[in-house]
């Protein structure tokens, strides 16, 4: 064990810029595989990404519907708005 610790000490200079999240140590303390931490983080990121994507898609749909309705009520103002935006579409 002493020899292995000495070997680790020699390698220490090569690993100075490595930052390990504290949660990884919690996984190890709980007897779990630290690779599960990476998988769990990726799964959480994917779930959050899907949630945000859904919100963005809904906001785009809302904007399109709002533009249609505003064009019905305020056609002149919407034409001016589109001209300012450099957009000649009717929605």
Task: List the chain domain ranges.
Answer: 1-7+21-88
27, 37 in Cβ contact below 8 A? yes
Distance separating alpha carbons of residues 34 and 79, to the nearest angstrom:
58
Spatial distance between the Cα atoms of 5 and 87, rounded to a whole number of angstroms: 67
Answer yes or no: is pLDDT of 91 > 80: no
Q: What is the mean pLDDT of the chain?
A: 90
Average pLDDT over residues 58-82: 96
Query: What is the C-alpha separation between 91 and 67, in angstroms, rounded?
Result: 6
State the average pLDDT over residues 10-27.
86
For range 34-58, the mean pLDDT:
96
Contacts of residue 23, defined as CB under 8 A and 6 or more positions apart, other chains included, come to 37
Q: What is the pLDDT of residue 90?
A: 47
């Amino acid at each position: 064990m002493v020899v292995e610790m000495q070997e680790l000490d020699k390698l220490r200079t090569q690993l100075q810029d490595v930052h390990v999240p504290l949660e990884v140590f919690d996984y190890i303390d709980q007897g779990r595989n630290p690779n599960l931490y990476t998988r769990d983080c990726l799964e959480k990121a994917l779930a959050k990404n899907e949630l945000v994507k859904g919100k963005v898609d809904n906001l785009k749909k809302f904007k399109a519907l709002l533009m249609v309705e505003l064009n019905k009520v305020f056609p002149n103002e919407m034409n001016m708005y589109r001209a300012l935006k450099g957009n000649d579409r009717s929605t």
